[in-house]
Structure 1
């Protein structure tokens, strides 16, 4: 049995619905369909989720919302008209959208979560009606009715263990199950949405809960690629990768797929196949749990880079002999609520690497002043010009010359390496460079191993 999730661009209009229907009916094993909200139909279009957020804000501000309400209805009306559905479908959609504005909520966060979730909710209702109108047996499953329970916060939900017990009770027949992504219900009966990769998370939860053989995640790209195609021209597609490889690459900028979103599928030992709705015959990229052994053709699976980092460099003679030096430093970070990414060190030097998107100029200034007072370094420098490149592959653990090849390829092109570190898992090599060199470094490493 397969769980199949479709992204917003895959369900944006009637033409895209046709592709989805062809995909789910071409394989009897595709039993569970997870929907996203309708995405953009063309450049400059507005996603339904964004319209719903605007709708929510107008309700909160007690302003006229009729125009945005009509725009949301029009998106579903367009799909309904395409399939010549009865008026029952659009009447259900209008009623639910109207109820959103007139219902009582505990606070603004609960209201926003309820509004945002309805893009997926209404699209699942629509898709189930479309399938049945074409003679394809389908049933819409309401997350509330089947006990899809979540905790956490209204806009940052976490699945509860009870959900898996409730999913195990569901009996399958010859109908396709259509399930809305992105949200669940609290034990109090309130709608809570997932924070990131919402529909991806729902698909992963259902894959684990139903003990699926495969979780297919359909997007608008053919596969996950070895490198960013905006940096490397026509990079190779990754045919198969482990989940931990994906985690390492996502850290440095892989953005095709939200890595944390598929954790439930990984916990349930369910492989994930990323495929293209617009070209479903292509194999896509298969993501497998780490213990699923496979023999990669290349020691490197992927190369990613990000310039979102900054670094604090500290130099002090005999630093390695001072007991408690690092403890004092960590206490300063704790004072400001700062987490660090990496801390490579030498006998007299220490570099602490941060995600600079989580820092502001005032915090940086105060942090450096506190370090000077508490640690009395011989030299201290804050470095904003810092990029990290991740070279990742399960095959790295079984090769001995990969690091030397990387260093040679970069030094030949005059690219300075500020830091290099191989992770404890032995499947990733982290390289620090100046921002201006990062893209060239990715291209040089790619050429060394793939060209």
Structure 2
């Protein structure tokens, strides 16, 4: 069995629906289908999820909602009319959309989650009815009816273990099964709760694990996962095969195909993930596989950068001899509710890298004051506009001079490297640079390893 997930751009209109139906029918193993809400159809268009958010806000303000309701209904109506589905299908969709405004909710967070989730819910329902109209035996997998249970915050839920048991009962179901992505049912109170970023990808990964799929196919609007951001390097090379941990490392550093946590259920079940293009489905895409038995074909697999960081550099002579120094430092961070991303260190110094999302100027000033007063560093420097660059590749662990190869193109162009940190697995190296140098650094590393078919001996 294959689980296939289609993103919003793959489901934006009737033409895209035609494509995904063709993809489903091409392979009889594609029996479980996970769908997102309809995405944008053209530049300047609005995603259905964003329309539902506007709808929810209007209801909260007790503003007029008839126009928003009509706009949302029209998105589904245009698809339904193309396939000439029975009128009862659209009657149901219209009633559900209008009914959202009349329900009662425990609070606004629950209301917003419910509104947003219905983009996926109604798209899955509509696709199931289209497949039935095409005389393909199909079941709409309503999360409440199949026991797709979640727990945790209403907008950051996590799947419960019993969901996998419920899904496993459908493993031998011969029909097509259409699942709405992005949400589940809170088993504590029966309300809708959504996953965080990449919600439909998370659902696809959960369904793949629950059904014990052989492959999880994730259809997007790109031909493959690329070795570098196409916005930085034009026409970059696609990655044919990569490992789970390579994908995780690159996702953290800015690769946007997946929210990295979306892969975890499939990784746990050791299910290969194939990223493919809905618009060119015959292309092989990128296959993400377990590390065991993987043989790298090159030195590095990809390079990515991420901005929005700051760093604290701290130097103190004989720092490594002082028992409890790091504990005291972490207690200060805890006092201000600040987590750190990385803490590379030497015998007399260390660098702490922070995500700026959790910082304020007041917090930074107070934290640095406490560090000076309690730890008495010889030097303390706060570095703003910090960027991290991640270079990832299973082949890197085979080379005795990995770091030299990677930093060479940067030092040749006088780029200041603030930090070098190699992971224990030896498949990734993180560099710290100024934000202003980040994109140039990525370009130089990519050109050094990928242009002109450059090959290195291990």
TM-score (norm 2): 0.96
Write the mapping of 1:19-30 to structure 2, written as runs, cut at 5 A.
19-30=19-30
Structure 2 SS opposite 1:274: strand
Aligned counterpart, 1:417: 417
Equivalence for 2:225: 224
Equivalent residue runs for 1:20-419 within 5 Å: 20-170=20-170, 172-187=172-187, 188-291=189-292, 293-419=293-419
Contact 2:148 2:163 survives alignment (8 Å)? yes
What are the Cα deviations for residues 114-141 of structure 1, in whole angstroms up to 9, with x where unaligned?
Answer: 1111000000111111112222222211
Post-superposition Cα deviations, 1:55-79, rounded to whole Å, max 9, x if no partner, equal 1111122222111111110100111
CA RMSD, aligned part only? 1.3
Counterpart-to-counterpart distance in 2, 1:269 and 1:411: 40
SS in 2 for 1:241: strand
2:456 is aligned to none
Distance 2:269 2:348 in 1: 46
Please state whether the residue corresponding to 2:101 is helix, strand or coil: helix
Q: How far 1:171 sits from its partner (Å)?
A: 5.6
CA distance 1:81–1:99, change in 2 (3 Å): same
2: CA distance, partners of 1:343 / 1:205 = 33
**Deviation of 1:233 (Å):** 2.4
Q: Distance in 2 between matches of 1:264 and 1:195?
A: 15
Unaligned runs of 5+ in 2: 452-458
Deviations 1:309-351 (A, max 9, x none): 1111122233222222211111110001111111122333221
CA distance in 2, matches of 1:71, 1:155: 25
For 1:246 and 1:83, how far apart are their aligned partners in 2?
A: 38
Q: Contact 2:252–2:260 at 8 Å: present in 1 too? A: no
Give the CA deviation at 1:173. Answer: 4.3
Find the residue that maps to 1:5 and give its secondary structure: strand
Q: Secondary structure at the match of 1:28?
A: coil
Mapped to 2, the partners of 1:410 and 1:173 lie a distance apart of: 55
After superposition, the C-alpha distances for 1:208-247 in whole angstroms (9 at most, x for unaligned) are: 1100000000011111111111212221101111111111
Runs of 4+ in 1 over 3 A off after TM superposition: 171-174
Kept in 2: contact 1:315–1:348 (CA 8 A): yes
C-alpha distance in 1, partners of 2:142/2:79?
21
* CA–CA separation in structure 1 for the residues paired with 2:120 and 2:429: 39
TM-score, normalising length: structure 1 = 0.97
